[in-house]
Amino acid sequence: MNSYELVSKIKGDNGQPVRQGLINAVQMTSVRIAEGWCRRKRPGAFEEHLDDASTALAEARLWLMVGLEHKHIDQLEYKKMSHMMNYLGEEMELLKMQWVVAK
């Protein structure tokens, strides 16, 4: 699911700030991973960018909770999105650990 599919689940006219915040945070997560990979030859760059991606993912989780709290996202969609974000966070941590070990 891409970020636009994700935010299409957000209901109501008042949900626009949640939509925009979620789009920005999810896209920044992807951007930071891609930037880190492109700069992986510079010592510590990949790990640093993965940390930045984790921060952006935490922001996305926050926007998701705000959406649930303000009833822009129903419980089922929240669980699906939250599960997906948790999985991504776990995968990023595994990648970071394997990257450090492989060096």
| Percent of the chain topping pLDDT 70 | 92
Structure confidence by residue, pLDDT tens digits, 20-62:
899 899 999 999 999 999 999 999 999 999 999 999 999 999 9
10-38 b/e (C-beta count within 10 Å ≥ 16 → b)? beeeebeebbebbbebbebbeebbebbee
What's the pLDDT at 3?
63
| CA diameter of the chain | 49
Start-to-end CA distance of the chain, whole Å, equals: 32
pTM (predicted TM-score): 0.86
Are 29 and 92 spatial neighbours (Cβ–Cβ below 8 Å)? no
Tokens describing residue 54: 């984790």
